[in-house]
Amino acid sequence: MNRIDRLLSLFPLYSKDLGIDLAESPGRFKWFLASILFGARISEKIASNTYRWFDRCGVNTAEKIVSAGWDELVKMLDEGGYVRYDFSTATKLLNIMEVLKEEYGSLDGLYDQSSDTNDLERRLKEFKGIGAVTTHIFLREMRGIWNVNPDVPDKVKEIAGNLDIDLNVEGEKLARIETALVKLNLRYCKHKGCVKCPMREYCKRRR
């Protein structure tokens, strides 16, 4: 197994971890919801648990989020462990979904009205509560699903360089590689966990 295959086997897409099918419109919205939860300064585990609780409760469409209302959303966020940002995130989710429905009709409608990646990024950032981080989390896994190609962050390029991994690829493959490198950074590089890193044999920094 070469280094890229090993990397991808160890660190799959977040959407895959969550059982989300991006090829289907409902799945794309679910990933949008998950991306909003991942976008806060909160752990992967808490964001994942909270998304799974929303999905388990069937509150996984724009309409159902709006219908749930603020109080119920706060309870659901607390149940998932999202306590620190429960009030602000409930407000944010309601605002985003209401504007999404009013301005675009649906998430796919938002994409259809965007002329290119930059325009789509701009439109996403116009939602109150969605910034550059959330926008990138969402779009990086949409490569190969939508015709989008967001820039790869410098930190990801640095880690790819350390592993001699070529990022001159496109679409779904780039989505998978970038996401895997993000996970590697969050779980090992960021905490200087070189000794336990499953990719240490390929890393220039370790050598």
Give the integer Cα–Cα distance in Å for 60 and 33: 8
Q: Which amino acid is at 40?
A: A
| 35 neighbors 74 (Cβ within 8 angstroms) | no
pLDDT at 35: 98
Give the integer Cα–Cα distance in Å for 203 and 163: 5
pLDDT at 203: 93
pLDDT tens-place string over residues 32-78: 999 999 999 999 999 999 999 999 999 999 999 999 999 999 999 99
Q: What is the mean pLDDT of residues 106-132?
A: 98
The structural domains of the chain, with segments of one domain joined by +, span 3-12+151-202, 23-140
Give the integer Cα–Cα distance in Å for 93 and 62: 9
Q: Is the pLDDT of residue 207 over 70?
A: no
Hey, what are 1's tokens? Answer: 């197994």
At residue 146, the 3 state secondary structure works out as strand
Give the integer Cα–Cα distance in Å for 148 and 187: 27
pTM, two decimal places: 0.96
Q: Which amino acid is at 123?
A: R
pLDDT tens-place string over residues 81-112: 999 899 999 999 999 999 999 999 999 999 99
Give the integer Cα–Cα distance in Å for 114 and 205: 41
Domain boundaries 23-140, CATH class:
mainly alpha
Q: Is the pLDDT of residue 206 over 70?
A: no
Hey, what are 3's tokens? Answer: 């280094």
